[in-house]
């Protein structure tokens, strides 16, 4: 099936800086795609290019088979939800949702029915006569969502729609958003800097950095087999040890020695041995693996659900390893200075090239 | 798209894609052209005139050289600079404690004091001068207070100027004092700083830019004011009256242009200082500051109350004295009260016409000016239009605040009197007076409109655009409602200023278009003080009524906009 949205070699420069750099991707009909990246990576500009609020210098945008690269926003078939909600303050909830319907030439009764239908869809039927200032943030964002869907657009664009909301409202609205998208069957493209949000709702995640797409794949692919250290660190915490030497059987990173195993191709420079803190084994489990190293506990942070340990392996030049263990598995907390066995399950080890932008990667 | 008929939609798109780019360019271009003609061209004409001789030949700086050779010039310059500087210092010295009392002390009847200090804004600048004359003039009731000095001259100019400039200064300083940061005061207290140290290190720095701004505004307004020195200046020559003498008295337009340039220069310098100060202010402004909480301080409140009562008594006393003087039959010999002066002033059809002219001018300026300002403020703040054009528009809208009315008015004479100019036909008509007055007062209303609209998130426009609403339709359906109450305030501001202004119109009126504020000056020059004061009081009463109407209409609009009320 032909993709609903197709972006090819899209580039946008503001003065000397290239904000979107040769970006290409497809979105299938009814797919939910998240564009994920740190602030300033060009993701919002990409969304604005697709909406037509900005004009690309090169490249093309195709929507439903039609090349819309030079179309004005009014001529493109999309609805949009902003982080700021951007509701019309002088119109009621129903007036906001019906704003776009007035211009369609549909009969008033038809318009009313459509507004009622949309308000029922987002669960705000009781609030139709209220003004935006009388609603909570979550309710306002639901109005914005209903308004964006009013003209039954082929594409729903979401620009950090949940970022302005409280954590618990955000989690609930995330589920509602996903359910709504599935029910309406609209193709959705959401921009966010929150990797949790992207992992939770997306069929596919596009990770951007410095105007370029770094990786594109399902949430599992992006989290479990990141393309480089930047993606790995952006998706979650990651231990990364610079590889010092490689021979036929072993990979060495400081005092760490790992069997070469399945890691056939190792980048010539800047390669790191990586493992997520939650994948590291400690104590009896590590000893059972038969490849345990002795480590010293440097710090212990009790976080409720989990316990975070920083372990140290080797002498003064050794490495620090972050470990995250469910607290139920540690009935007795280790103490600073304790000796502890640690091991890396081979299937959890990733060999990753240095991120393209070390600085940004470190910040996450 | 279950609701839309595809045919009508494609048709609408075709129409809008034709009309869109056209209106997107034409509307701002038209407005820019209007601003160029009404603001920039006259100023350029004045600058050019100062470099030409009577026959239109280029003479370089010869006119300036000729003017410098004029007897009495150095005195006029010195008078203008020194009297303006003195008035500025005195105005700030009174306005700062007054604004401090309104915002940083717990004085009683704050609302009342806030309103009373605004009253001088509603009268021509000559009214306080008349009040001074009735109090301290040759026949004044308190003449002995001056210990033999004459009110006609520097004393009168400075005192009347301070009264006239006071409300402007208090308004600007209030803005600075209203935005204090309580956290800094708590920090100062924790560090055991005395009240004085806290004042010097926290309060003053937080409003230093407001002080600079207020000082610049006051200096320029006194430096370029024409009405006060004419009425109460006696034989004291200042630049603002000199320009009038050169142009009207001696028909020496070239020297008039030279004086215009000399008035324009310090105004531009002051404006530049103000702009620089504001730029620095933005860098120090913190979005997370906590509003100041007033502590208990009997001594502070007592002193503030005393000061505010004294200042308001002085304001009311001077205005009241002017009103009293206008009601007296023949000052100071026959103190019978009555409307004698009013009847006498209005019995002359020429003087009666000035009132109707003023009303016509002020209403036209209010209506046309509000429309123009709404359009330019809307275009500049909403960015639905080409960015380059709106930047030009914003820059043009900022020019008038730096141009003294006398300079603009004289520029109008040079630009529109030129028979080669097709706009020459406007010369001598009320339209030109309306245009000049709108141009003169353009900046503040423009900024009011921009200020009201930028509060609305920019993404609202994009959301409307995504729902296929054109910029004009969004303006009508969304922005108009947001802007509504502000438009009423703008109309009120323009009306009152058009009623009371003298300087910009001094060179433009003729017998048919003379307005009341100018008639006040003419009567005063003819020593008809009673009638002049009566006319000035009538102008003030009309302005009071207009302001009351403005408040009423704005409140009605706000009451009809339930969306402005937050959830209870």
Q: At B528, is the pLDDT very low, low, confident or very high (cuts 50, 70, 90)?
A: confident
pLDDT digits (tens, 9 = 90+) for B201-248: 888 888 888 888 889 889 988 998 888 898 888 888 888 888 887 787
Nearest residue in chain A measured CA to CA from B13: A75
| HEC assignment per residue over A36-64 | ECCCCCCHHHHHHHHHCCCCCCEEEEEEC
Element (H, E) at B234: none
Average pLDDT over residues A129-142: 90
Q: Give B70's DSSP letter.
A: S
Identify all chain A residues contacting B2, using CB atoms and an 8 Å cutoff. Answer: 114, 152
Nearest CA distance, A79 vs chain B (angstrom): 6
The two structure tokens encoding residue B528: 């008809």
The predicted structure's pLDDT at residue B14: 44
Nearest residue in chain B measured CA to CA from A97: B467
Chain A and chain B share a number of CB contacts under 8 A equal to 106
- Residue B12: is its pLDDT beyond 50? no
Identify all chain A residues contacting B469, using CB atoms and an 8 Å cutoff. Answer: 74, 99-100, 103
The predicted structure's pLDDT at residue B289: 66
Is the peptide bond prior to B332 cis by the omega test (within 30 degrees of 0)? yes
Q: Mutate one of B7, B386, B463 to test the A interface: name it (highest A CB count within 10 A).
A: B463
Q: At B24, is the pLDDT very low, low, confident or very high (cuts 50, 70, 90)?
A: low
Helices B387-398 + B443-454 axis angle, to 10: 130
Q: Mutate one of A72, A75, A92, A103 to test the B interface: name it (highest B CB count within 10 A).
A: A103
The predicted structure's pLDDT at residue B545: 95
Identify all chain B residues contacting A79, using CB atoms and an 8 Å cutoff. Answer: 466-467
Nearest residue in chain B measured CA to CA from A76: B466
The predicted structure's pLDDT at residue A198: 93
Measuring CA to CA, which residue among B148, B172, B140 is closest to residue B318? B140
- Residue B10: is its pLDDT beyond 90? no
pLDDT digits (tens, 9 = 90+) for B358-389: 999 999 999 999 999 998 888 888 766 667 78
Q: Mutate one of B3, B383, B560, B566 to test the A interface: name it (highest A CB count within 10 A).
A: B3
Q: What DSSP line would sit under A241-294, residue for residue? A: EE--EE-SSEEEETTEEEE-TT-----SSSEEEEE-GGG-EEHHHHHHHT--EE
- Residue A36: is its pLDDT beyond 90? yes
- Which member of A53, A106, A151 has the closest CB to residue B467? A151
Nearest residue in chain B measured CA to CA from A93: B563
Identify all chain B residues contacting A152, using CB atoms and an 8 Å cutoff. Answer: 1-3
Beta bridge partners of A252: A245, A257
Nearest CA distance, B489 vs chain A (angstrom): 19
Q: At B286, is the pLDDT very low, low, confident or very high (cuts 50, 70, 90)?
A: low
Nearest residue in chain B measured CA to CA from A81: B463
Identify all chain A residues contacting B560, using CB atoms and an 8 Å cutoff. Answer: none
CA-to-CA distance for B440 and B372, rounded, in angstroms?
Answer: 13
* Residue A24, Ramachandran bin (φ over 0: left; ψ between -120 and 50: alpha; else beta): beta
Sole residue written with tokens 């040759």: B138
- Which member of B460, B481, B565 has the closest CB to residue A86? B460
Identify all chain B residues contacting A114, using CB atoms and an 8 Å cutoff. Answer: 2-3
CB contact under 8 A, B467 and A150: yes
Nearest residue in chain A measured CA to CA from B465: A74
CA-to-CA distance for B245 and B373, rounded, in angstroms?
Answer: 34
- Which member of A73, A114, A134 has the closest CB to residue B465? A73
Identify all chain A residues contacting B24, using CB atoms and an 8 Å cutoff. Answer: none
Which segment of A89-103, B88-102, B233-247 scores lowest on mean pLDDT? B233-247
pTM recorded for the entire structure? 0.84
CB contact under 8 A, B469 and A103: yes
Identify all chain B residues contacting A92, using CB atoms and an 8 Å cutoff. Answer: 563
Nearest residue in chain B measured CA to CA from A148: B467
CB A237 within 8 A of CB A203: no
- Which member of B2, B482, B562 has the closest CB to residue A131? B562
pLDDT digits (tens, 9 = 90+) for B315-334: 999 999 999 989 988 777 78
The two structure tokens encoding residue B15: 């129409």
């Amino acid at each position: 099936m032909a993709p609903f949205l197709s972006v090819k070699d899209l580039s946008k420069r503001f003065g000397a800086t290239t904000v979107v750099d040769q970006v290409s991707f497809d979105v299938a009909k009814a797919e939910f795609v998240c564009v994920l990246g740190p602030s300033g990576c060009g993701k919002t500009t990409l969304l604005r290019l697709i909406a037509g609020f900005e004009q690309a210098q090169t490249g093309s945008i195709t929507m439903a088979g039609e090349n819309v690269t030079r179309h004005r926003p009014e001529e493109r078939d999309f609805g949009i939800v902003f982080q700021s909600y951007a509701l019309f303050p002088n119109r009621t909830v129903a007036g906001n949702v019906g704003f776009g319907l007035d211009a369609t030439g549909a009969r008033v009764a038809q318009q009313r029915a459509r507004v009622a239908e949309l308000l029922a869809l987002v669960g705000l039927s009781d609030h139709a006569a209220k003004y935006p200032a009388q609603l909570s943030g979550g309710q306002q964002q639901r109005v914005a969502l209903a308004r964006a869907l009013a003209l039954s657009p082929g594409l729903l664009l979401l620009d950090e729609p949940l970022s302005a909301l409280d954590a618990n409202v955000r989690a609930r609205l995330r589920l509602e958003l996903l359910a709504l998208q599935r029910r309406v069957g609209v193709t959705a493209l959401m921009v966010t800097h929150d990797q949790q949000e992207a992992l939770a709702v997306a069929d596919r995640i596009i990770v951007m950095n410095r105007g370029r797409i770094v990786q594109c794949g399902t949430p599992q692919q992006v989290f479990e087999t990141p393309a480089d250290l930047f993606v790995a660190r952006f998706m979650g915490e990651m231990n990364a040890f610079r590889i010092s030497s490689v021979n036929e059987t072993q990979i060495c990173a400081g005092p760490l020695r790992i069997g070469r195993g399945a890691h056939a191709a190792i980048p010539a420079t800047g390669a790191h041995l990586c493992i997520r803190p939650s994948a590291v084994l400690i104590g009896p489990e590590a000893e059972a693996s038969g490849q345990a190293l002795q480590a010293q506990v440097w710090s212990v942070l009790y976080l409720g659900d989990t316990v975070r340990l920083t372990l140290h392996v080797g002498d003064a030049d050794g490495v620090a390893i972050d470990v995250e263990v469910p607290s139920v598995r540690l009935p007795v907390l280790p103490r600073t200075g304790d000796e502890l066995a640690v091991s890396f399950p081979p299937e959890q080890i990733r060999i990753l090239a240095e991120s393209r932008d070390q600085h940004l990667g470190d910040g996450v | 798209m279950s609701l839309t008929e595809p045919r009508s939609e494609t048709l609408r798109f075709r129409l809008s894609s034709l009309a869109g780019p056209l209106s997107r360019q034409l509307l701002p271009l038209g407005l820019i052209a209007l601003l160029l003609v009404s603001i920039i061209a006259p100023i350029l004409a004045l600058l050019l005139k100062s470099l030409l001789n009577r026959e239109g030949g280029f003479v370089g700086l010869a006119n300036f050289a000729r003017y410098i050779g004029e007897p009495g010039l150095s005195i006029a310059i010195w008078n203008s600079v020194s009297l303006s500087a003195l008035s500025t210092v005195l105005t700030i010295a009174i306005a700062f404690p007054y604004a401090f009392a309104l915002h940083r002390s717990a004085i009683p009847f704050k609302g009342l004091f806030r309103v009373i200090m605004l009253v001088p804004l509603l009268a021509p600048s000559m009214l306080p001068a008349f009040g001074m004359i009735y109090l301290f003039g040759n026949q004044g009731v308190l003449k002995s207070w001056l210990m033999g000095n004459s009110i006609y001259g520097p004393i009168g100019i400075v005192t009347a100027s301070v009264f006239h400039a006071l409300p402007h200064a208090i308004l600007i300083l209030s803005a600075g004092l209203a935005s204090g940061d309580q956290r800094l005061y708590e920090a100062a207290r924790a560090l055991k700083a005395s009240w004085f140290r806290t004042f010097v290190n926290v309060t003053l720095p937080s409003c230093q830019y407001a002080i600079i701004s207020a000082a610049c505004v006051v200096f320029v307004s006194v430096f370029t004011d024409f009405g006060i020195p004419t009425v109460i200046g006696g034989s004291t020559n200042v630049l603002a009256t000199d320009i009038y003498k050169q142009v009207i008295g001696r028909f020496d337009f070239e020297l008039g242009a030279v004086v215009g340039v000399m008035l324009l220069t310090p105004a531009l310098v002051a404006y530049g200082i103000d702009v620089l100060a504001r730029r620095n202010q933005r860098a120090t402004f913190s979005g997370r500051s906590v509003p100041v909480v007033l502590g208990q301080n009997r001594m502070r409140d007592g002193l503030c109350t005393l000061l505010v009562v004294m200042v308001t008594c002085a304001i009311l006393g001077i205005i009241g004295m002017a009103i009293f003087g206008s009601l007296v039959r023949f000052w100071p010999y026959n103190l019978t009260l009555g409307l004698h002066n009013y009847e006498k002033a209005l019995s002359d059809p020429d003087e009666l016409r000035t009132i109707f002219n003023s009303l016509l001018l002020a209403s036209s300026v209010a209506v046309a000016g509000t429309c123009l300002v709404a359009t330019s403020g809307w275009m500049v703040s909403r960015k639905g239009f080409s960015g380059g054009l709106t930047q030009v528009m914003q820059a043009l809208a900022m020019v008038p605040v730096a141009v003294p009315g006398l300079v603009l008015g004289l520029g109008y004479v040079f630009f529109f009197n030129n028979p080669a100019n097709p706009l020459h036909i406007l010369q001598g008509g009320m339209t030109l007076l309306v245009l000049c007055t709108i141009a003169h007062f353009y900046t503040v209303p423009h900024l009011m409109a921009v200020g009201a609209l930028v509060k609305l998130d920019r993404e609202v426009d994009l959301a409307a655009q995504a729902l296929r609403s054109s910029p004009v339709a969004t303006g009508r359906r969304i922005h108009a409602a947001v802007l509504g109450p502000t438009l009423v305030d703008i109309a009120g501001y323009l009306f009152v200023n058009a009623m009371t202004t003298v300087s910009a119109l001094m060179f433009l009126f003729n017998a048919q278009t003379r307005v009341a504020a100018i008639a006040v000056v003419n009567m005063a020059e003819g020593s008809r003080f009673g009638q002049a004061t009566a006319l000035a009081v009538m102008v003030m009463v009309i302005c009071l009524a207009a302001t009351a109407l403005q408040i009423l209409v704005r409140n009605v609009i706000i009451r009809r906009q339930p969306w402005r009320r937050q959830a209870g």
